Structure 1
C-alpha cells in the first residue's frame, strides 16, 4: 500500500510519517513544497522526511504521479481544501488533519467534492480510539449511566506557536484555541450522542494568556446544548504551562441520571520525577491513538471497533466551532448551521 503525507505544516505530520514507516507493507512518501508561510527556524520540507527515513517528493504533482492508495493532509487549516479537492480529483481516499477546514464553506466544498468523486474523506480525530472513551461509550450505550444530563470536558494544551506559529494566525488556522481544541471533544460527543445534534452554542474567549505574543484567543469555554437535552461544556484553552513535561491532555466527565463516568484519554502512563533533569517525567504504556486511527483509516475498523470520523462528522464539529465564534463576538447563544 502506498501512502503519501501531503504538507508537514501540522506537527502531527512527523508522527504520521514515523508510524507509517513502521507498518509492514506500507510504502510512505512525504511532500511539503509550500513552506513559504513557515516561521523562521521551523523544520519543514525534506529535512522532516529525512528524519523519518521516508522518500520525499518535491511537488504535490510528483506525489500524486507516484500513485498513492491513500493520502494524509497535514497542511495549515486554510490549505486543507485544495489538497483534499486534488485528492478527490485523483480518486484517492484522504485523511484530513483536524479541524476539517478553517471555514464551514471550505468544509462543505470538501465534503461535496469527495462525495461527487466517490472518494472517502476522513478526519483525524484520534481521541475517539482511546480505550477510556470506549469504556464511557459502552456504559452510555448499555444504559448504565441512565439518560445523559451533562458533560464537562477539557482539552487543554500548551501554547503551540513555538512548534508552529500558524496555529495562532487566524488567516491560516481559522482562529486560535477555540478552533484548535474544541473539535476533539465535539467529535466525541457527536459519536456518543449519535442522533442528537447541537442546537445552541454559547462561548466566551479571551487572550489573557500570552496576550503579548498573539492576537488570537488563547482561552475559551464553550457550552453546547444538544437536542437530547444534554448540556456540555468544553474548556479549549492553551493553558498548559510551557515548562511542563507533557503537552496537555483531554478529560471528560459524563453525568447521567444513575451514574457519573470519568475518563482521561492520555493518562495511561507511569508518572515520576527525574532528578537528573529536574522535572517530572512520564512513561506511557497505553496504545498509540494515532496508530490506531491510521490503521482504521487504511485497513478499516474491525467488527464492533471504532471507525475514523468521516467528513460529514468533521463538518458538524466545525459548525459548532463556527457558532462558538459567533457567540463569543455577540455575547449571546447561537444556533449552529444544520445540514
Structure 2
C-alpha cells in the first residue's frame, strides 16, 4: 500500500458499530486533528445505527461498504467477531489499511487467511490492542526489555469485566465467552513485553455467574519461551453495581525485582445521588485515542510502530484457542502456531 505523501489529511472510515468499542473509536476518529486526518464516515450492517452515529459525530453514513472503501485510505473494523474476516478481506482487497477489533478471528485458519491476504497484497493489517498504549504498560515493557529487573520468572495477569450481553454471549458470533474476550489483551502484552511466544497452555473455564450459552469465567496457566510461567484470569466477574467496568492488572516477578501493574489504576471515586452508587472515574490517558492516532499516523507516513500487527493478533488469539482445547481435554496443550 502506498503511504499518503501528498500532504493531505489521511482519510479514515469506521466499518460496523456492532462492537461496544466502536463508539469510543468513532469519538477518537472525530477528535483527530483535521489537518492530519478526516473521518470520512461509517458503514454498518444496521443502516439506522450508522445513520444515527454518523449524524451525532458530524460525518456521513454509507449504505454500501464498497463506496466507503473507495473514499478512504484506511478503516477501523469493529464488527462482531464472526464478521472480522469478511470485512477485513474486503478492505484488504481494496488496498486499504486496516485496524481490526480483537480478537482478530474466531479460529486460527480465519486469522491466518487475513494475515496472509494482507501480506500478499502489501496492505498494513493491525489488531486493536489499546492496552499497549497505556503509559504504565509501556514503562513495564521498558523495564523488562532494558534488563533493569533481571530475568522475568513469572507473570500473573487479570482481565476482569462486566458481562457485556448481546452477541458477546452468542458462540456463533463471538467464538466463545469471557475466555476469548479477555485472554487476548493480556496475552498480547505478555508477548510484547517478553518478545517471546507461548509454548504450552492449560485452562479451566465454566459458567458460574450467568445463565448464558458461553463461559463467564476462565483461568489460564501457560509457559512462555525461556521458561517463564504465566497465568491469566479472564472473566466477566464484575457485577453491574461495581464502580468500574473491570481491570487489566499484572504482577511480574523477576530475578532483580517485582512490578505490580494496574493499567486502569488512575481513578477517583465519584458519588452520585442519581446513580445511588459510587463510581471510579478514570483520569489517565485515553489509550483508544493514542492507538487510533497512531494508526492514522502510520497510514499517513508509514514507519515503525508499536501497534499490534495482524500476526500479533493471531498469536494472541491462538492462546485462547489452545485454552479452549485444554479445557475440553482437561490437560495441557502444546501450542502449535499456524505458519504464515
TM norm structure 1: 0.91
User: Pairwise mapping of residues 139-150 of structure 1 onto structure 2 (< 5 A)?
Assistant: 139-150=143-154
Q: 1 CA distance for matches of 2:161 and 2:201?
A: 22
**Cα RMSD (Å):** 2.0
- Which consecutive unaligned segments of at least 5 residues does structure 1 have? 37-42
Who is 2:323 aligned against? 324
Q: 2 CA distance for matches of 1:275 and 1:83?
A: 44
- How many residues were matched structurally? 326
Q: Deviation at 1:59?
A: 1.8
Q: 1 CA distance for matches of 2:93 and 2:101?
A: 19
Q: Deviation at 1:308?
A: 0.4
1:129 matched to 2:133? The reply is yes
Who is 2:162 aligned against? 158
Among 212, 215, 233, which residue is 2:213 paired with?
Answer: 215
Deviates more, 1:8-17 or 1:46-55: 46-55
TM norm structure 2: 0.91
Q: 2 CA distance for matches of 1:199 and 1:2?
A: 40
Equivalent pair of 2:171/2:213 in contact (CA under 8 Å): no
CA displacement, residues 77-110 of structure 1 (integer Å, 9 cap, x when unaligned): 1101111111111111100001111111110000
Q: Deviation at 1:130?
A: 0.8
Q: Deviation at 1:285?
A: 2.3
Q: Deviation at 1:272?
A: 3.6
Who is 1:251 aligned against? 249
1:21 matched to 2:52? The reply is no
1:11 matched to 2:20? The reply is yes
Q: What is the SS of the residue equivalent to 1:299?
A: helix
1:310 matched to 2:296? The reply is no
Equivalent pair of 2:160/2:233 in contact (CA under 8 Å): yes
Equivalent pair of 2:96/2:123 in contact (CA under 8 Å): yes
User: Pairwise mapping of residues 98-113 of structure 1 onto structure 2 (< 5 A)?
Assistant: 98-113=102-117
1:80 matched to 2:84? The reply is yes
CA displacement, residues 261-290 of structure 1 (integer Å, 9 cap, x when unaligned): 011111222224335532113333211000
Q: 1 CA distance for matches of 2:99 and 2:288?
A: 12
Deviates more, 1:289-298 or 1:27-36: 27-36
Who is 1:49 aligned against? 54
1:176 matched to 2:177? The reply is yes
Q: What is the SS of the residue equivalent to 2:92?
A: helix
- Which consecutive unaligned segments of at least 5 residues does structure 2 have? 1-9
Equivalent pair of 1:17/1:30 in contact (CA under 8 Å): no
Q: 2 CA distance for matches of 1:242 and 1:333?
A: 34
Q: 1 CA distance for matches of 2:72 and 2:137?
A: 32
Among 131, 138, 142, which residue is 2:142 paired with?
Answer: 138
Q: 2 CA distance for matches of 1:306 and 1:137?
A: 15
CA displacement, residues 303-337 of structure 1 (integer Å, 9 cap, x when unaligned): x9961000111111111111000001110001122
Q: 2 CA distance for matches of 1:281 and 1:135?
A: 27
Equivalent pair of 2:203/2:326 in contact (CA under 8 Å): yes
Among 12, 23, 42, which residue is 1:31 paired with?
Answer: 42
Distance verdict in 2 for CA 1:326–1:127, change over 3 Å: same
Equivalent pair of 1:136/1:262 in contact (CA under 8 Å): no
Q: 1 CA distance for matches of 2:305 and 2:182?
A: 21
Who is 1:266 aligned against? 264
Q: Deviation at 1:11?
A: 1.0
Q: 2 CA distance for matches of 1:271 and 1:252?
A: 22
User: Pairwise mapping of residues 201-240 of structure 1 onto structure 2 (< 5 A)?
Assistant: 201-210=201-210, 212=211, 214-240=212-238
Among 113, 120, 132, which residue is 1:116 paired with?
Answer: 120
Who is 2:5 aligned against? none
Equivalent pair of 1:156/1:248 in contact (CA under 8 Å): yes
Who is 2:3 aligned against? none
Who is 1:39 aligned against? none
Deviates more, 1:246-255 or 1:282-291: 282-291
Who is 1:279 aligned against? 277
Who is 1:298 aligned against? 296
Q: Deviation at 1:46?
A: 1.6
